[in-house]
């Protein structure tokens, strides 16, 4: 096998267990899945928002391929929602290729990536990403979904994790614990000693039995709306005041910190001339920083911090602090 | 000379052209200069603000030394102003030491660092930093000041640069062009293709003739208030509306992007367990991101973008685009 094939199809015989033609077909299917998921998610978000519509921008990547950025701004439910898809191909920079499986520099990637910033502070922010990559003779799936609440509702965290766990369990009982732990590890702000939110799933480099992995990946994508929308539906009309809005803006600052300091996709994209406006669509419409802010002990806001560490939300009996936080959260609804 | 002295004083004889005792005395003087500059700047900012006062937090660094963070929040003129000083010593991490002059891991550093976020969008944000470092047998001064306006007033940019140039010219006519260019190069957002603002001065590793360099460094510190305050005085009562406020919040997003993606001090501090609240005091109280925002051609906001590239503000005749922008800016005052 050549170490620098000019395209993945140059190699003959078994490629990641599939023939080159089978991999081509899988890539085409994955790209179609990604486009269908964007349509489905955007439609569902417009329906629950009831006010604003997505605007779609089609863009070309100079090195090969392109994408469609979908943005909904100033909605009744979503202050800003971005749902991007892309299908790109070309040559990796050698130093970036060194961090990836496979061989050579030629790559193909397709994926959907979304970040939703709701208006109501009781509705969590969420992020999801589902992608398929080929490099030389290697091909793999990656993705995940995670939830970043501003107020600590145990039942919401449990619902989100339960739906994602069911999608995992249908394929392999080892997936949920493995990808849940990976998510906690990835979405961690070292300088703050906090997870970004309550986690979810994160997986990458899944390259064994690609047809089966493709079904798992697709099912995870399909699980996103059932995992998230019921929480939106339940919290979107909760009354809130300036206090909750200010706390939401303050916590959104953490989202900015994570994305600009740690998120590999963001940093890589910006430093390698990606389309800036699509990459930074993940940033909140408005965010605040306050020097040395500490939530009042015993407050709803303080309760959130108990959620910002890796924990198992699906155990039958929550630890006492969680139960207390969830109760405070529930009482606050009017 | 040992390559890993246990402290800078272990080496005998000439250290950066001074004896060890002379370097100790210089360090003590620099630390006193830094503390005096913090007092002077905070007093002047309180006086022009007329409403809020600085709160000072003294902190200790576990590895050695500490500092005093001064923060003014919610003032009439300054929405957030942070003026920090520190005097720290200890051991550099080897990988960090490799990026520095000198030998061994033992270091000493003292400095003042400030970021001022005014409320009125016609008043520019500013940053300044003045520091003295020792590592093993090496010692050097670094620092600078730069201005980040939201609206393009040529006369303000000229005033700021003129005062800084005068401080430089009193020592060496090569300093201003050299440190002005270094500032343009450092405060550059590669992914946006923009400078952070209109620049100013940036210098580092100045280790020749330390007594003379110390006088230059101190004069630069003393030039900060005369460079900035007259601009605040002139613009702080300019009438503005939601349009200018929104543009200010949007442009503050760029400040966040620079500090979290590129600023070496911020990224290093956060990744090596510095005091997070002091490091991130530089972030604005409130910032906004808007997908694919483009200023209206010919507007005041569009005029700013002509300022966001390296240019010589002190030439006698401004290029036509600058003159137009400055005129628009001036007309907007009520």
Element (H, E) at B180: helix B175-186
CA A115 to chain centre: 7
Is the model more confident about B90 or about B148? B148
Rounded mean pLDDT of A255-274? 84
| Share of residues in chain A with pLDDT > 90 (%) | 79
How many residues are recorded in chain B?
Answer: 334
Is the model more confident about B324 or about A258? A258
By three-state DSSP, how is residue A56 classified? strand
Question: In the prediction, which pLDDT does A29 show?
Answer: 98
Residues from chain A that touch B82, judged by Cβ atoms under 8 A, are: 291
Q: Quickly state the pLDDT bin for B204 (edges 50, 70, 90).
A: very high
d(CA A152, CA A119): 17
Question: In the prediction, which pLDDT does A329 show?
Answer: 36
Contact A267 B288 (CB under 8 A): no
Q: Give the gap in angstroms from C-alpha B15 to the nearest C-alpha of chain A.
A: 36
From A73, A80, A191, residue closest to B270, measured CB to CB: A191
Residue B11 pLDDT exceeds 50:
no
Element (H, E) at A282: none
Sheet of A55-60, strand order: A55-60, A65-73, A78-91, A106-118, A125-135, A138-148, A199-206
Residue B5 pLDDT exceeds 50:
no
Q: Does A246 contact chain B (CB < 8 Å)?
A: no
Element (H, E) at B201: strand B199-206
Residue (of B248, B307, B293, B261) closest to B120 by Cα position: B248
Residue B316 pLDDT exceeds 50:
no
Residue A13 pLDDT exceeds 60:
no
Rounded mean pLDDT of B117-128? 98
Q: Does A267 contact chain B (CB < 8 Å)?
A: yes
Question: In the prediction, which pLDDT does A16 show?
Answer: 67
Q: Give the gap in angstroms from C-alpha A42 to the nearest C-alpha of chain B.
A: 17
B127 tagged catalytic:
yes
pTM of the model: 0.89
CB count in 10 Å sphere of residue A274 = 18
Contact B285 A281 (CB under 8 A): no
Q: Quickly state the pLDDT bin for B40 (edges 50, 70, 90).
A: very high
Contact A57 B292 (CB under 8 A): yes
Name residue, tokens 């003779």: A137
Sign of the dihedral through C-alpha B311, B314, B320, B323: positive
Question: In the prediction, which pLDDT does A95 show?
Answer: 82
d(CA A134, CA A10): 13
CB count in 10 Å sphere of residue A236 = 18
Rounded mean pLDDT of B283-311? 96
CATH for A8-288+298-326 is 3.40.1500.10
Question: In the prediction, which pLDDT does B333 show?
Answer: 34
Provide the Cα torsion B154, B155, B156, B162; round to 10°: 110
Residues from chain A that touch B249, judged by Cβ atoms under 8 A, are: 286
Question: In the prediction, which pLDDT does A301 show?
Answer: 97
Q: Which two tokens stand for residue A49?
A: 């928002």
Residue (of A88, A130, A51, A71) closest to A280 by Cα position: A71
φ and ψ of B202, to 5 deg: -145, 125
Element (H, E) at B322: helix B320-331
Question: In the prediction, which pLDDT does B271 show?
Answer: 65
Q: Give the gap in angstroms from C-alpha B84 to the nearest C-alpha of chain A.
A: 12
Residue (of B85, B150, B166, B191) closest to B307 by Cα position: B150
Q: Does B192 contact chain A (CB < 8 Å)?
A: yes
Residues from chain A that touch B253, judged by Cβ atoms under 8 A, are: 283
> Which residues of A are part of the catalytic machinery?
127
The predicted complex's ipTM stands at: 0.88
Average pLDDT, chain B: 89
Is residue B155 within 8 A of residue B329, CB to CB? The reply is no
Rounded mean pLDDT of A307-313? 95
Residue A317 pLDDT exceeds 70:
no
Name residue, tokens 């922010």: A125
Q: Could you report the per-residue pLDDT of A19-58, keeping only the tens digit for each?
A: 889 999 999 999 999 999 999 999 999 999 999 999 999 9
From A280, A288, A292, residue closest to B289, measured CB to CB: A280
Contact A286 B256 (CB under 8 A): no
Q: Could you report the per-residue pLDDT of B155-201, keeping only the tens digit for each?
A: 999 999 999 999 999 999 999 999 999 999 999 999 999 999 999 99
Burial (CB < 10 A; 0-12, 13-18, 19+), residue A302, is middle
Q: Give the gap in angstroms from C-alpha B91 to the nearest C-alpha of chain A.
A: 20
């Amino acid at each position: 096998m050549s170490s620098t094939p000019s395209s993945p199809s140059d190699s003959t015989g078994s490629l990641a267990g599939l023939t080159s033609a089978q991999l081509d077909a899988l890539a085409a299917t994955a790209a179609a899945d990604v486009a269908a998921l964007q349509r489905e998610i955007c439609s569902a978000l417009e329906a629950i928002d009831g006010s604003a519509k997505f605007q779609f921008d089609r863009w070309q990547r100079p090195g090969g391929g392109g994408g469609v950025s979908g943005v909904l701004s100033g909605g009744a439910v979503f202050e800003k929602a971005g749902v991007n898809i892309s299908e790109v191909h070309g040559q990796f920079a050698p130093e970036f290729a060194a961090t990836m499986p496979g061989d050579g520099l030629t790559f193909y990637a397709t994926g959907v990536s979304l970040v939703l910033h709701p208006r109501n502070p009781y509705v969590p922010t969420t992020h999801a990403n589902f992608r398929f990559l080929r490099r030389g003779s290697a091909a793999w799936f990656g993705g995940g979904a995670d939830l970043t609440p501003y107020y600590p509702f145990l039942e919401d965290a449990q619902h989100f994790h339960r739906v994602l766990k069911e999608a995992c369990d249908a394929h392999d009982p080892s997936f949920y614990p493995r990808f849940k732990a990976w998510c906690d590890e990835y979405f961690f702000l070292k300088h703050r000693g906090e997870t970004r939110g309550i986690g979810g799933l994160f997986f990458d480099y899944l390259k064994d039995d690609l047809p089966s992995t493709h079904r798992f990946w697709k099912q995870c994508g399909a699980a996103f709306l059932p995992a998230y929308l019921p929480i939106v539906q339940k919290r979107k009309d909760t009354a809130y005041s300036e206090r909750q809005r200010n706390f939401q803006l303050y916590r959104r600052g953490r989202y900015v910190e994570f994305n600009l300091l740690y998120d590999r996709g963001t940093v890589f994209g910006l430093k390698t001339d990606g389309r800036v406006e699509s990459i930074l669509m993940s940033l909140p419409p408005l965010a605040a920083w306050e020097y040395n802010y500490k939530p009042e002990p015993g407050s709803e806001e303080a309760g959130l911090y108990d959620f910002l560490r890796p924990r198992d939300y699906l155990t039958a009996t929550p630890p006492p602090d969680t139960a207390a936080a969830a109760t405070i959260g529930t009482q606050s609804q009017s």
